[in-house]
């Protein structure tokens, strides 16, 4: 297991629509393990494969934030099969947009189908932070970032800030 570098805004890869996994094999499981290590190391509560540069529909999540009682979830080809009418607002962040946080309103509950690490079909009913986090991760698989849910003014401001920072980096 190793941590992998996380790609950052404005990396154009973040806009890619990721491809479905055709077989949950050892290679896919090795990627999930690396993603979990990368997520815990960051630290973060979720990570999509595209954030380590791989456009594949794999997500890892752990919203427990408890070092001693980890509850890692690996979701392959996750699909939202139900969203609640009720909404919830959370302050979101993204490891690909470091140190930027903003409130986002999303459906409060969701139901998601996915394949687990063994390739078995599963469903999960999500509420609270888990619901927000899984919706944020599935957005990544479709090339959508949480800033895409903000006003155009706020979004453009963040993109400009990160584009500038990257240019200064490359000139340093
Ligand atoms: O670590 C993360 N925290 C977070 C907080 C609120 C809503 C979503 C998230 S996910 C984020 C990690 C990340 O970028 N996942 O794609
Ligand atoms: Ni993110």
Domain at 86, CATH number: 3.90.45.10
Task: Answer whether 135 contacts ligand 1 (Cβ < 6 A).
Answer: no
Tell me whether residue 1 is in a domain: no
Confidence of residue 168 (pLDDT cuts 50, 70, 90): very high
Tell me whether residue 71 is in a domain: yes
Percent of the chain beyond pLDDT 90? 95
Q: Is the pLDDT of residue 67 over 90?
A: no
Q: What is the pTM of this model?
A: 0.98
Distance CA 42, CA 45 (A): 9
Task: Answer whether 47 contacts ligand 1 (Cβ < 6 A).
Answer: yes
Tell me whether residue 6 is in a domain: no
Distance CA 76, CA 120 (A): 10
Residue 10 makes CB contacts below 8 A (sequence gap 6+) with 159, 162, 163, 166
Task: Answer whether 73 contacts ligand 1 (Cβ < 6 A).
Answer: no
Task: Compute the average pLDDT of residues 63-76.
Answer: 93
Nearest CA residue ID for atom 6, ligand 1: 92
Q: What residue numbers bound the domain in which 37 lies?
A: 12-166
Distance 133 CA to ligand 1 centre (A): 6
Give residue-wise pLDDT tens across range 97-144: 999 999 999 999 999 999 999 999 999 999 999 999 999 999 999 999
Residue 26 makes CB contacts below 8 A (sequence gap 6+) with none
DSSP one-letter string for 20-33:
PPS---HHHHHHHH
Confidence of residue 65 (pLDDT cuts 50, 70, 90): confident
Tell me whether residue 149 is in a domain: yes
Distance 146 CA to ligand 2 centre (A): 7
Give the mean pLDDT of the chain: 97
Distance CA 18, CA 140 (A): 8
pLDDT given for residue 79 in this prediction: 98
Q: Is the pLDDT of residue 1 over 90?
A: no
Nearest CA residue ID for atom 5, ligand 1: 92
Count of domains observed in the chain = 1
Distance CA 154, CA 160 (A): 10
Which residues are known to be catalytic? Answer: 137
Helix (H, G, I), strand (E, B) or coil at 50: helix
Q: Are 28 and 64 in contact (CB under 8 A)?
A: no
């Amino acid at each position: 297991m190793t941590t992998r570098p996380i790609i950052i805004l404005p990396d154009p890869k973040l806009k890619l629509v990721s491809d479905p996994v055709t077989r949950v094999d050892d290679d896919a499981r090795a990627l999930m393990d690396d993603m979990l290590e990368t997520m815990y190391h960051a630290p973060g509560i979720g990570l999509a494969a595209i954030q380590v540069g791989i456009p594949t529909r794999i997500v890892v999540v752990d919203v427990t934030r408890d070092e001693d009682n980890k509850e890692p979830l690996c979701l392959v080809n996750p699909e939202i099969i139900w969203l609640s009418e009720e909404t919830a607002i959370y302050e979101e962040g993204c490891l690909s947009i470091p140190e930027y946080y903003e409130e986002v309103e999303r459906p409060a509950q969701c139901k998601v189908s996915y394949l687990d690490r063994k390739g078995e079909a599963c469903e999960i009913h999500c509420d609270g932070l888990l619901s927000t986090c899984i919706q944020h991760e599935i957005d990544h698989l479709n090339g959508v970032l949480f800033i895409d849910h903000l006003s155009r003014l706020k979004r453009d401001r963040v993109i400009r800030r990160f584009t500038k920072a990257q240019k200064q980096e490359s000139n340093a």
